[in-house]
Amino acid sequence: MSKELLIKNGMIVTGDKRGTVIQKGYVWVNGSRITEVSEGEAKFTADTVIDAAGCIVIPGLITAHTHLYGILLRGASLNIKPPTDFAQVLQRVWWPVDEALTQEDAYASALSAGADMLRNGSTLFADTYSGPNSIEGSLNEIARGTKEVGIRGILAFEMTERNNADEANRGFQEGIKFIKSCKKDDLVSGMISLHASFTVGDEIVTRAVEEARQLDVPITVHTSEGLVDLYHNLEATGERTVERLDRLDVLGPKTVLAHCVHVNDHELDLISKRRASVAHNPMSNMLNAVGVAPVPAMLSKGITVGLGNDGWIYDPFENMRCALTIHRLASRNPSIIGPEEIFKMATIEGAHCYGLGTELGSIEKRKLADIVILDGTRVPTPLTPDSIVGHLVNTFGGRDVRDVVVDGRVVVKDRLLTQTSDLHVSETSIKSARELWSRLQQHER
């Protein structure tokens, strides 16, 4: 018999289509699925009971785009000439790091970034890994770290021809092998990832699309994150980035375009028409000074927009808050976007990006039980069903996450990991980061 879990006495923000909030109720979970969501007192007890009195119960937050290995760069002092544009950020920071990555780093960063996201309320991430000198087997190592902490992950090897075609081909093979190997896994699955339009030729793009469609998995690509992508495409083909991707049949319902900062109205119309989606990464866009993605225009055209961290700040609440403020600042219109839209981006819309809207993204009967319980005792004003979504975006933070359930299993309890130890995670991560930094310094010399 599968295990039962009862979460009782909490305010439940279901995130369903009607935006239902239950002032005081319970969520019943049988095995990995939610079997009942209701108001009032539960009549029976379960194998595991979480008393959520004074707490807010929300759907697990979804990180629609990340790079787990970014966590190993926290605090690294890279001895480089300061970049003055996005192309230089890639050339001086990310690409040397990619080249220095090892299988151990892939594992350690999955463990550490996975734990960081989980403890901050994210229960699913979509990662793309890029390590030209650690291709074969890297996805298994990332899956190992992901499963050890108990978070859900969609994993991919990022194909690029920036060095040579062989590198892209090996990345492609690694991705396909991994996708086939984890078809029935509960926590991890695979997808196809292309680095960016300006680093992949037509042939590899076409092969990637065909394979993604055949395997029925998502395909993701960084899209006009910086002007370098747009200018390269205009110069090489006369097409804007999304126009080129459309010509190559990349756009479809399981296509996730990361960033889309430099896209015009015609490109947005193409994304909308093909029912592709966008992973918005506002904090990363600010960090790299690339510009502001036209998210309000995307939403008005009915484009699905999820929220990512792009390998920088893994707390989804910080990313939500930034998504709320960046568009208000850019438009100088304090009503351009509101907490309801932002909360949806971090939950159900993130699930829709990857074709998982019927399985994840809300607390509803028959869906998979990915649930976050927030301690509401530090909130300085009344928490009511009317104000709660505003509070989730304006007031709460990762520090308020008390318990986390993924696939019906309690993976964070009283702020601590249950599937592995927090100490093991930090020790593994620190060792890996120390060695990575040392390799990077040797490279600089």
Residues that bind Zn ion (CB under 5 A): 310
Distance CA 148, CA 171 (A): 24
Q: Closest-CB residue for Zn ion? A: 310
Distance CA 59, CA 240 (A): 37
**Nearest distance from C-beta of residue 284 to Zn ion, angstroms:** 7
Please report the DSSP string for 172-192 in residue order: HHHHHHHHHHTTT-SSEEE-E
Name the minimum Å distance from CB 77 to Zn ion. Answer: 23
In the complex, minimum distance from the CB of residue 220 to Zn ion, in angstroms, rounded to a whole number? 9
Residue 7 or 221 having the CB closest to Zn ion: 221
The β-bridge partners of 410 are 405
Q: Between 310 and 349, whose beta carbon lies closer to Zn ion?
A: 310
Q: Checking phi first, is residue 16 left (phi over 0); if not, alpha (psi -120 to 50) or beta?
A: beta
- For Zn ion, the closer of residues 174 and 225 by Cβ is 225
- One DSSP character per residue, 293-355 reads --HHHHHHTT-EEEE--TTS---HHHHHHHHHHHHHHHHT-TTSS-HHHHHHHHTHHHHHHTT
Nearer to Zn ion, 310 or 370 (CB): 310
Residue 310 CB, nearest approach to Zn ion (Å): 4
> Which residue matches tokens 């108001």?
39
Q: How far is the CB of 265 from Zn ion (least distance, A)?
A: 24
Cβ-based nearer residue to Zn ion, 125 or 343? 125
In whole angstroms, how close is the CB of 102 to Zn ion at the nearest point? 20
Query: What is the distance between the alpha carbons of residues 192 and 221, in angstroms, rounded to a whole number?
Result: 9
Residue 203 beta carbon to Zn ion: minimum distance, rounded to whole angstroms: 23
Q: Are 118 and 151 in contact (CB under 8 A)?
A: yes
Kindly tell me which of 105 and 310 has the beta carbon lying closer to Zn ion: 310
CA distance 196 to 78: 24
Residue 373: its H or E element:
strand 371-375
Q: Please identify, using beta-carbon distances, which residue of 25 and 350 lies nearer to Zn ion.
A: 350
